[in-house]
């Protein structure tokens, strides 16, 4: 026997109620944010994510042509020697 709390109809009804509450909170938050932006900026602004160029510049040097022999030598070293080099490079 299934508990009345876990009846699919009851569960769906509760999910619908929670979805409706969530939508009301979203509208409330949106109107609050619009009012705040109107007070500060005079108009509602759309947020734009900044371009993530810093990550590209950080990793570009790794693929430089002159680094290929160094990478080859490092990858073909014994694991123990690589670990020692890693420990020394961190300090």
Tens of pLDDT, residues 2-18: 677 788 888 999 999 99
Average pLDDT over residues 9-37: 95
Q: In this predicted structure, what is the pLDDT of residue 56?
A: 58
What's the average model confidence in pLDDT over 13-30? 96
How many angstroms separate the CA atoms of 2 and 72, rounded? 63
HSE of 5 in the Cβ direction (CA atoms, 13 Å)? 0
pLDDT digits (tens, 9 = 90+) for 39-85: 999 998 888 777 766 665 666 777 788 989 998 999 999 999 999 99
Q: What is the Cα–Cα distance from 35 to 64, expressed in whole angstroms?
A: 50
Q: How far is CA 45 from the centre of its chain?
A: 22
> Taking a C-beta distance cutoff of 8 angstroms, is the pair 77, 84 a contact?
no
């Amino acid at each position: 026997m299934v508990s009345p709390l876990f009846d699919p109809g009851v569960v769906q009804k509760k999910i619908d109620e929670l979805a409706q509450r969530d939508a009301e909170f979203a509208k409330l938050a949106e109107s609050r944010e619009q009012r705040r932006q109107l007070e500060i900026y005079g108009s509602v602004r759309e947020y734009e994510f900044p371009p993530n160029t810093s990550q590209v510049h950080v990793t570009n040097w790794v693929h430089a042509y002159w680094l290929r022999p160094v990478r080859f030598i490092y990858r073909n070293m014994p694991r123990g020697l690589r670990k020692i080099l890693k420990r020394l490079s961190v300090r």
